[in-house]
Amino acid sequence: MTSHIDTDICIIGGGSAGLSVAAGAVQMGARVVLVEKGRMGGDCLNTGCVPSKALLAAAHHAHAITRSPEFGLHTSPPDIDFAAVMAHVRDVIAGIAPHDSVERFERLGCTVINDQARFTGPKTLVAGGTTVRAKRFVIATGSHAAIPPIPGLLDVPFLTNETIFDNNTRPRHLIIVGGGPIGIEMAQAHKRLGARVTVTEQGRILPKDDPELVAIARQTLENEGVSLYENAMAKQVVRHGTDYRLTMMHKGAELTLEGSHLLIATGRHANIEDLGLDEAGVACRNGAIQVDARLRTSNKRIFAIGDVTGGLQFTHMASYDAGIVIRNALFRLPAKVNYRAVPWVTYMDPEIAQVGLNEDAARKAHGNCIRTASWHYADNDRARTERRTDGLIKIVTTSSGRILGAGIAGPQAGELIGLWSLAIDRKLKIGAVAGHIAPYPTLGEISKRVAGAWYTPSLFSKKTRKIVRFLLALG
């Protein structure tokens, strides 16, 4: 028999974005129905942020042991139990899972339906045997791994971020197609855990980050033994016994790689299939749901947030987008998104963090009326005490000093970028950062030092020296 539910808000998708809306709305008094066809927690908890960072943490500890002689500590190389490492990854997921569970959201007061949702009209959907009619809907179905059209790829079993964390056998040679954040993080993690690793990328690695920062990442990976093939076009994949053979074009020559495991990390596609979007009057563009600045779709009763909109695919956008939706859907406030201060981080070692405009983007937007300044980790005392001096912070401002962007390549870059995100969001000028007091010795001092470096050309100029000498001459 078919059941019927009338509710205030119906949310499709139990990942980070959907759960953020559900938790906020139900605790503010709204009647909430949450529909999720798969595992609660979505990609972030099960196949994305959480397992990847847990794997990177294990790799970091293994690498730290190999560096111990730098500190006068002598020990044997780490004995890596790869299956135990993956058990650690699953244990971390299990520890977080109760926070995202059906039981928790039912305790909060949500009605949770574990089934596929499909719109049957602009105000209704069906999930399993239940028809849901809601005043507002939120589509938060996320994204899945994009599979490139490489001949032969669909004829062989390959890994994506959705399956690699189920692999308990350390790869003898892991071939990664894709040099974005996922590919680079997995490359370094597996290399530090004892695998041979090769990365192929049709452009340059980490293409959205400032080239100066990427140069530090590239050098680190190569120093650790990761083989990188940039500007390489994959041509074919075949099985050779139990191995994979990947043929590619690189620098005008055809090369063939042979490896034990193949990971595809070439981006993400929005999950918009089988939702009945046409029946709901929801328009799509370029394979994603089209939204306005208030995150409303072409059907103003239906919002879409997170990866499904094809925008910034970061988990930390989930709570931000959720806040925009709650203000619009519950309080009828015309809140709009503002993404100018969204930070992102690639969690390799050293981390690469970026917020706002990099130098190239700033020049396109502002012409030559911009200024940049840089400061190296090698000039930071805390970095020297920890022998972590490979790093750089770079800032971009207008000629008057308004902060447009910042990028950091170095230890704890993801922690340090928050200051610059706040500065951009509040439209601060560089003097605000230069004037703040940073504790010594901390890596946080690099932000103050780079802000000070912005003033160096004028502060120590001939004009300044003349003014100082004149004032001193007055007694």
Q: Does 183 carry a binding-site annotation?
A: yes
For residue 435, the model assigns a pLDDT of: 95
Q: Which of 97, 108, 117, 129 is nearest to 10 (CA)?
A: 117
Q: Which residues of the chain have pLDDT under 70?
A: 1
For residue 1, the model assigns a pLDDT of: 54
For residue 464, the model assigns a pLDDT of: 82
Q: Does 185 carry a binding-site annotation?
A: yes
Q: In 235-296, which ranges are continuous DSSP H helix? A: 277-280
Q: Mapping DSSP to helix (H, G, I), strand (E, B) and coil, where does residue 126 land?
A: strand
Q: Does 141 carry a binding-site annotation?
A: yes
Instruction: Output the pTM of the full model.
Output: 0.95
Q: Does 410 carry a binding-site annotation?
A: no
For residue 461, the model assigns a pLDDT of: 80
> What are the residue ranges spanned by the domains of the chain?
3-40+101-145+269-329, 153-266, 343-459
**d(C-alpha 222, C-alpha 74), whole Å:** 25
Q: Does 76 carry a binding-site annotation?
A: no
Q: Does 351 carry a binding-site annotation?
A: no
Q: Does 273 carry a binding-site annotation?
A: no
Q: Does 445 carry a binding-site annotation?
A: no
Percent of residues in the chain assigned helix, strand, coil, to nearest 5: 40, 25, 35
**d(C-alpha 468, C-alpha 297), whole Å:** 61
CATH code of the domain occupying 343-459: 3.30.390.30
Domain 153-266 has CATH 3.50.50.60: yes
Identical fold for domains 3-40+101-145+269-329 and 343-459, yes or no, is no
Q: Does 201 carry a binding-site annotation?
A: yes
For residue 312, the model assigns a pLDDT of: 87
Q: Does 179 carry a binding-site annotation?
A: yes
CATH code of the domain occupying 3-40+101-145+269-329: 3.50.50.60
97-130 residue pLDDT tens: 999 999 999 999 999 999 999 999 999 999 999 9
For residue 86, the model assigns a pLDDT of: 98
Q: Does 203 carry a binding-site annotation?
A: no
For residue 318, the model assigns a pLDDT of: 85
Which residue pairs from 162-170 have beta carbons closer than 8 angstroms and sit at least 24 positions apart in sequence? 162/43, 162/47, 163/47, 164/263, 165/47, 165/51, 165/52, 165/55, 165/86, 165/89, 165/90, 166/86, 167/86, 167/261, 168/82, 168/83, 168/86, 169/82, 169/83, 170/80, 170/82, 170/194, 170/195
**CB-CB contact of 228 with 199 (8 Å):** yes
Q: What percent of the chain has pLDDT over 90?
A: 93
267-277 residue pLDDT tens: 999 999 999 99
Task: Name residue 394's beta-bridge partners.
Answer: 374, 407
Q: Does 389 carry a binding-site annotation?
A: no
